[in-house]
Structure 1
């Protein structure tokens, strides 16, 4: 049985690689990248049940798009509203705004490797049926 599938949006190449490695080691997840909100929404709409979790960078590496705006767009879309979403940011105020917009509590890049982060991701994947 394949592991969970995660869409990682707006990360630079280095961070995508770090996040992918962490998720592969901690939850055996396959991670697909998306550079923009449009690319992420297109991937999600093409296969709404295909992703078990969406990780959204606070500010997209390419183009500077807003991760919070993407979270809001996902929550407004009835076909995608149940997909678990987490913000990737070390900024607690941004994490709070993301939760208020409907995301699960996320994590910062500095938290990669922390067992609590792995547990939070396992919980998110469990809520989606992906783990």
Structure 2
């Protein structure tokens, strides 16, 4: 069964990399959101198996960890695992502290651990 992913706040090159990585490893359909408002709208109207949130949203450079907190505090959104996209372990830990699952880094797509980390949500 095809899994649904919402990719939030990625720049164009990162979007291409994420799509290429996810579609080559999993049976997924990928939606995109650029800023907080469209992210919340999509999460209110659709269910996703995984939400990948950039540490800094490309469109407005807002903070991905703050967005995770807002999503967690918004009762109307459908519950989905939230994952930060960042190469920095300290930001991954901050994201986990506010309710995300441990995420992935942009430099880690070739790392087998990245696929393993996504398997519970997309496998």
- State the TM bucket, normalised to the shorter chain: over 0.9
- TM-score, normalising length from structure 1? 0.88
Q: How do residues 93-108 of structure 1 correspond to structure 2 at under 5 angstroms?
A: 93-108=90-105
Unaligned runs of 5+ in 2: none
Q: CA RMSD in A?
A: 1.3
Corresponding residue pairs, total: 123
In the other structure, the counterpart of 1:20 is 19
In the other structure, the counterpart of 1:35 is 34
Unaligned runs of 5+ in 1: 126-130
- TM-score, normalising length from structure 2? 0.93
Counterparts of 2:77 and 2:45 in 1: how far apart (Å)?
Answer: 11
Counterparts of 2:68 and 2:13 in 1: how far apart (Å)?
Answer: 23
Counterparts of 1:82 and 1:120 in 2: how far apart (Å)?
Answer: 19
In the other structure, the counterpart of 1:122 is 119
Q: Is contact 2:43-2:78 (8 Å) kept?
A: no
